[in-house]
Amino acid sequence: MLQKIRDNASGPLAYVVVAVIAVVFGVWGIGSYFTPSSDPVVASVGGTEITRYQLQQSYNQRYQRLRQAMGDSFDADMFPPEQLRRTVLQGLINEAVLTQYADEAGYRVTDARLLAALRSNEQFQVDGQFSPERYRSLLSQAGIPAGRYEARLREDLKSQQLRRDVTTSAFASPAEVDQAYRLVNQERRVRYLAYDAQRYIDDVDVSDAELESYYEDHADQFQRPERVKLSYVSLSRSNAAAGDAAPDEAALRELYEQNKAQFGEPERRRGVQVRVPIEGDGDAARDRIQQLASAAQDADLEAAAGSVDGAEYSRIDGAAPGDLPDAVAETLFELDTGETSSPVRGEQAWYLLRLSDVTQASTPSFDDPEVQSQLKAIASAQREVTAYSDKSDRMETLAYEAPNDLQTLADELNLEIQDTGWITREGGDGIGQYDAIRKAAFSDSVLQDELNSTPIQLGSDRRVVLRVESHQTAERRPLDEVRDTVRERVARQKAEDRARESAREAMTALEAGESLQSLTGEDGPTLESPGFIRRSDREVDPRVREAAFSLPSPENDTRRLDVTATADGRVALVVVDGVRAGDDSDSATPREQFAEQQRQYVARQEYGALNAYLRNQADVEINENRID
């Protein structure tokens, strides 16, 4: 890339661009742009390969997003790993198809655009500014090489350009908008009988045969994912120097002499100053400060300053050399007590100084308790940094020389061998939360060849070497282990079936002329009457609302009926017996805003159609045996 710029550009701008990119490579590392070629290919789209690593990374990200979005209601059984993995793979294939089309259409992402995207990512910022250190640290924790991340980001930006061009060209005609607007704002009068399935639970019996049948029919819901238990050693700054002897008095004294200035107080001077700001060439300010100097040698400097136009009087209260502009400090620290200086020129003003008092510099002795505490803290920090650096290098060597056990490494580095609980490819506790750890644990060399991992960097000051102690392949959990869960599900299903049967009996009665009120009772369903509702009405159960607007429009005083399950687990007999057109004035969405929403809807449809067409034309090969 750098050579291409050199070959095709000239002049100062080209050198600036080359310099910027060189800095980027220097900060992020040229080596990180090269990735291993041994990663198994899960699918190929034309000339683009989707590797198992890419699939696993995308799967982990999707899984974590689902977990965060659902919070406490998250249930891993809702997302069988095999099914979710295949969904993620289809998404990666679609991305590859669109990226290839974007390449053929001439879309390009410049290095400047890529760099701008990185800098604008808040995850890589510290105090609002892009931090290369944080960038490297986060990618390291995630186990993602910078080159691979940047290549993926470049492809994403290219796809975004294509999406933007397709979607911004979409439009919806006024007639389409008007028709959709009336339909969306339509109101329907709704009532429904709600049957609580819990009422039927006590009347439900679940046989062993039903348990076994449900267990067999829903085998994918009772899978235990592949998992491992690990042993590992962890090297960090905090434990690298453990067991090392504390520094002796001679070492502390040497450290004291090297850092004596930071333990004491510098000489401080008090006095007053008059400042005359420089304007233009500074001649006027110089003349005024000289006028003041002539009049103020034995006079009150504050009073004298009051007679000079533009002069600013202030006190100097215990200033050390570094507290003042260089020229001012140099002059002040040459004065004797009571002496007034000659005019002093600074960068932005002329000064006149008078010294009133001096506090001599003081340095506490080596034996001072506070000094001793600081010396030991400094020595400890230095010892940790040195030990961590030395042991990190040794860890690299030992991981290669003694790959069959951790004991050699632990003994030589004075580290403790630790153990984890079960860790899957998707997550785990402790170090299992790191993608880099899971990737290493399930790598062929660690899992199949039973070798130690290479050192894994976690953050800026922690490294881990691990090995697998126990491995369980993916398997179905035994029925005895999940019997209570299966029984609960079967009982719930049978109770819902009973509730649905009661609702259908009520539907037959309504069709025969019975009233809704006559079907309620102490042990029967409850009657809910939300009245006229819109599709956007959030106060009505969403499934009831969906059923109400899925029914044909009632005509000639007829009523439309349907049975559905509610969002809270009940069964509802939904009755729609009135329809009226929505009034624009009552709409929560102004027509102009609605028109834009329709345009966006059309844009999504067109983009989806393009995706489907390209996918149909693409040469896609999937290696089924490498998906899981």
Give 47-61 pLDDT, tens digit per residue: 889 988 788 878 888
Q: Give a three-class secondary structure readout of 51-63.
A: EHHHHHHHHHHHH
In the chain, what are the domain boundaries? 20-172+620-626, 186-223+481-580, 227-246+370-473, 265-359
State how far the Cα of 514 lies from the Cα of 96, in Å rounded to an integer: 59
Which whole number is the average pLDDT over 289-303? 75
DSSP string for residues in 321-339: GGGS-HHHHHHHTTPPTT-
Q: pLDDT value at position 38?
A: 53
The answer to whether the CB of 426 falls within 8 A of the CB of 416 is no
Residue 7 — pLDDT band, cuts 50, 70, 90? very low
Residue 544 — pLDDT band, cuts 50, 70, 90? very high
**Residue range 265-359, CATH number:** 3.10.50.40
Q: pLDDT value at position 584?
A: 59
Partners of 230 in beta bridges: 468
Place of tokens 């940047």: 150
Which whole number is the average pLDDT over 476-504? 91
Per residue in 59-114, pLDDT (tens digit) is 888 888 888 888 877 777 678 777 888 999 999 999 899 888 888 888 888 888 88
Q: What is the DSSP letter of 535?
A: T
Query: What's the length of the chain?
Result: 628
Q: pLDDT value at position 245?
A: 64
In percent, the amount of the chain with pLDDT more than 70 equals 90
State how far the Cα of 325 lies from the Cα of 344, in Å rounded to an integer: 11
Name the residue with higher pLDDT: 475 or 363.
475
Q: pLDDT value at position 585?
A: 58
State how far the Cα of 624 lies from the Cα of 42, in Å rounded to an integer: 7
Which of 278-287, 428-437, 444-453, 471-480 is predicted least confidently?
Answer: 278-287
Q: Hey, do 20-172+620-626 and 186-223+481-580 end up sharing a CATH topology, with the first three levels equal?
A: no
Helix (H) or strand (E) holding 566: none
Place of tokens 């159960």: 541
Specify the CATH architecture of the domain 186-223+481-580: Roll (3.10)
Q: How buried is residue 33: exposed, middle or buried, by Cβ count under 10 Å (0-12/13-18/19+)?
A: middle
DSSP string for residues in 471-482: EE--EEPPHHHH
At residue 356's C-alpha, the angle toward residues 354 and 360, to 5°, is 120
Cα of first residue to Cα of last residue in the chain, in angstroms, is: 37
Per residue in 546-601, pLDDT (tens digit) is 999 999 988 877 889 999 999 888 999 999 999 987 665 555 567 788 888 888 88
Distances in Å between the alpha carbon of 406 and those of 238, 398, 448, 471, 546?
20, 9, 17, 17, 60
Which whole number is the average pLDDT over 247-252? 79
Give the chain's mean pLDDT: 83
Partners of 189 in beta bridges: 532, 578
**Residue range 20-172+620-626, CATH number:** 1.10.4030.10
Q: What are phi and psi of 408, to 5 degrees?
A: -60, -45
